[in-house]
A and B are shown apart, each in its own frame.
Chain A
Amino acid sequence: MKVNLKKWMRTNGAYVAIWILMGFIALGLVIYELGIYTLAVIIPFLPPFIIAMIRMVQELRK
């Protein structure tokens, strides 16, 4: 899938912003409940998340 990221962001930037905001609110709620232990539910999932982000950008450029 060949996608122009800049163009895509221009049309869909608002959606991305909403998702990021929702993500931070959800993270805030979890931190409010779990405190420092939030790290225990985030750290194990960081490696797949980071690879997923890198791969997604790579595949969009193809």
Chain B
Amino acid sequence: MAFTLYSLLQASLLIVNAVAVLHEERFLRHVGWGSDQGIGGFGEEPGIKAQLTNLIRSIRTVMRVPLIALNSITIVLLLLFG
């Protein structure tokens, strides 16, 4: 069973990086997942797609700077220790 905590950390770092490179204008708008598309409606709860769009946008906003630090640390550690 090779599923360890370390591989979980690796996978989460890669996934967060992947979410962070989804560009708002060049890509998400064309697919229909832009942050200003169709989230209207003040009344009832947002659907799953609106929640996902919000999640992507907030991950990109919040994790932009910490990801720089995390990636640099990971690169240095992998270079030093393989």
Answer yes or no: do A and B interact: no
- Could you tell me which B residues sit within 8 Å of A by CB distance? none
- Could you tell me which A residues sit within 8 Å of B by CB distance? none
